[in-house]
Amino acid sequence: MSNITSEMTPFSVLTAAMVQDNGNHSIVLPADWLQGRTAYGGLSAALCLQATLRSLEDLPPLRSAQFCFVGPATGKLSISSDVLRKGKSTTLVGCDLTGDSGLAVRSTLCFGAGRTSSHDHQSFVMPKVAGPEDCPGYYVWPDRPNFMSHFDGRLAAGARPRTVGAKPEMTVWLRHHDAGDEASLVRLLALADALPPPSLVLSKEFIPISTMTWSIDMLDDKPFTSTGWWLVQATANTSREGYSAQETVIWSPDGKPVLVARQNVAIFG
């Protein structure tokens, strides 16, 4: 399953390198986990979640989170988590990630215990696609951001970047190359942002992009995959005036929806 070379840092090793530092948590990212000079958005979000889970005990399941990407996450990263409010069933946590250039990520995470309810409804239907073993490889173009080499992708439907004339959407089987705890939300968050923005399907060439905000809602309190694979469907709802609004839905291989996200991306070109 692993395509990680000796020069690359598996995700499990990367996250284990986070240490306590004067009441916060800190980590220095290796170059193979960067997008250009900064951590990509999904990794920054995953590190915020990991630091929060390490800092605060007995949190209920994560229900939603919002991330605002203020600046580049470079150099030594410091992450601080503080309880904003704790109620009978929910806990709201503020988490800031700071790098050498100052504040990089400001986030709010909402944790909530399950409650008995007469409601049982969801509208996300997993698309009918071939399994990952029957789909072509996804990450096949040159000059990909470094971090993408840590993921195995199989194109199930839609298009890759620079497929002019195609709809700006893609459905891809994704998994980490390194084996790990497949019930880990930290791993899932890092993977949830491992695709390029679907708006890049519309481009004739690769252009710089930067995620501005990312909002996620958890649809399952204990998402799990027995195979490591997740089916990720990303769609650009709009792409104009240098910004793209997109939606991402993730299913486990058994067809259960586990996460839905909204993202606003700056397009520099």
Instruction: Report pLDDT digits (tens) over 162-177.
Output: 998 999 999 999 999 9
Q: Are 157 and 198 in contact (CB under 8 A)?
A: no
Say what the pLDDT of residue 18 is: 97
Secondary structure letter of residue 107 according to DSSP: E
| CA 231 from centroid of its chain's CA atoms | 13
99 phi and psi angles, rounded to 5 deg: -120, -165
The whole-model pTM stands at: 0.95
Look at residue 2 and give its three-state secondary structure.
Answer: coil
Report how far residue 68's alpha carbon sits from residue 45's, in angstroms, rounded to the nearest whole number: 10
Q: Which residue is it, tokens 């089987």?
A: 173
Q: Are 63 and 111 in contact (CB under 8 A)?
A: yes
Secondary structure letter of residue 253 according to DSSP: T
Say what the pLDDT of residue 5 is: 53
Question: 109 — alpha (psi -120 to 50), left (phi > 0) or beta?
Answer: beta
Element (H, E) at 188: helix 185-192
Say what the pLDDT of residue 161 is: 94
Give the start-end residues of each E strand in the chain.
19-21, 24-28, 34-35, 38-39, 62-69, 76-86, 90-99, 102-112, 151-158, 169-176, 209-218, 230-240, 243-251, 257-267
Look at residue 32 and give its three-state secondary structure.
Answer: helix
Say what the pLDDT of residue 135 is: 98
Name the maximum alpha-carbon separation found in the chain: 52
Give the start-end residues of each E strand in 113-240.
151-158, 169-176, 209-218, 230-240
Look at residue 137 and give its three-state secondary structure.
Answer: strand
Report how far residue 261's alpha carbon sits from residue 53's, in angstroms, rounded to the nearest whole number: 21
Amino acid letter for position 237: N
Cβ burial 225-254 (10 Å sphere, 16+ → b, else e): beebbbbbbbbbeebeeeebbbebbbbbbe
In order along the chain (269 residues), what is the average pLDDT of each group of 10 residues? 64 95 93 94 98 96 98 96 96 98 97 92 95 97 92 97 95 95 94 97 91 97 95 97 97 97 94
Question: Which domains are delineated in the chain?
Answer: 11-115+128-267 (2.40.160.210)
Look at residue 218 and give its three-state secondary structure.
Answer: strand
Q: Which residue is it, tokens 């590190």?
A: 47
Say what the pLDDT of residue 2 is: 41
Report how far residue 171's alpha carbon sits from residue 186's, in angstroms, rounded to the nearest whole number: 22
